[in-house]
Amino acid sequence: MEIQLKDSNTSDAASLAVHKSPVVEFLERFFRSNSAVIGLVLLLILVAAALFAPVFAPYDPYESNMPNALTAPNSAHLMGTDELGRDIFSRILYGARISLVVGVQAVSLALICGVVLGAVAGYYGGKVDTVIMGFMDVMLSFPSILLAIAFMTVLGRGIDKAVIAIGIVSIPQYARIVRSSVLSVKENVYVTAARAIGNGDGRLIFVHILPNVLAPIIVRATIGISDAILEAAALGFLGLGVAPPTAEWGTMLGSGRQTIFNAPHIVTFPGLAITMTVMAFNLLGDGLRDVLDPRLK
């Protein structure tokens, strides 16, 4: 009798060990991924810097001090000053807010539009698919930065305009991913069963199909934020992004290129901030891709 109880307890423990909740399994796999953890740590540092910029910034990022213009990094100014004597470290902290907001909002806009268009095209197929994806292919035939420049020329400068421009040019990437994912799962048994019991097209798409194709969308959105930040910086560098004197990394690079040889710190530190941010999102996206890939379980 004791042996049977022991065997029963052992089998129950083994069963509990095997049947872990999806959340616990995801967290275990996530924290085993070095790239995901490093990306998350870097991202948390950036978010903290953006949220607590007024606390960490030693100076007003918009206060000019011409006698201290182009000062090299020192104990008073950790990253030196720009051509107007403004503290670069303070401006980089405040610039993190602009870059993260533009990146997240632009990807959110592209994600919403791309998911809807891709899901409709993949689910209905036929002429609907041809028209939607044909338009997406036309957009993809142009470099995204050129399309963003065209939209910014029409819309004008500003954070909200940059979000709209970058979001629109990013829609085709998400539409194609969602369309291919929907095509691969829309004929599965659970979708056929849901259709047989009377579910409408809208419920089939957004309740039964899209939740099962989230993994590639999440990975692409994470990496897409880094792309959006790079495009926002490129627009700022070209003078088409956020209007001065707003502290934005691309604008800081653009205004400092004239003094790059006698004061290289003006472009070095904003460039490093952009590099660190892009690397954080790319590492996190690569890690999520490995964690969410069922073939690697």
**Tell me, what's the pLDDT at 19?**
61
Any domain includes 217? yes
Taking all residues of the chain, what is their mean pLDDT, rounded to a whole number?
A: 86
CA 292 to chain centre: 17
Question: How many domains are there within the chain?
Answer: 1
Strand partners, 87: 81
Q: Are 276 and 42 in contact (CB under 8 A)?
A: yes
Any domain includes 162? yes
**Tell me, what's the pLDDT at 2?**
45
**Tell me, what's the pLDDT at 118?**
93
Any domain includes 267? yes
Any domain includes 73? no
Q: What percent of the chain has pLDDT over 90?
A: 44
**Tell me, what's the pLDDT at 16?**
44
Confidence of residue 192 (pLDDT cuts 50, 70, 90): confident
Q: 282: Cβ–Cβ under 8 A, 6 or more apart, which residues? A: 39, 223, 226
Residue range of the domain that includes 235: 35-48+90-296
Any domain includes 85? no
Confidence of residue 17 (pLDDT cuts 50, 70, 90): very low
DSSP string across 111-172: HHHHHHHHHHHHHH-HHHHHHHHHHHHHHHTS-HHHHHHHHHHHH-SSHHHHHHHHHHHHHH
Any domain includes 215? yes
DSSP state of 84: T
CA 232 to chain centre: 12
**Tell me, what's the pLDDT at 65?**
87
Question: 43-87: per-residue pLDDT in tens?
Answer: 999 999 999 999 999 999 998 888 888 889 999 899 999 988 999
Any domain includes 124? yes
- What mean pLDDT comes out for the span 181-207? 84
More confident residue, 280 or 188: 280
**Tell me, what's the pLDDT at 44?**
94
Confidence of residue 5 (pLDDT cuts 50, 70, 90): very low
Question: 145-168: per-residue pLDDT in tens?
Answer: 889 999 998 888 888 898 999 999
CATH number of the domain that residue 115 is part of = 1.10.3720.10
Q: What percent of the chain has pLDDT over 70?
A: 92
Any domain includes 256? yes
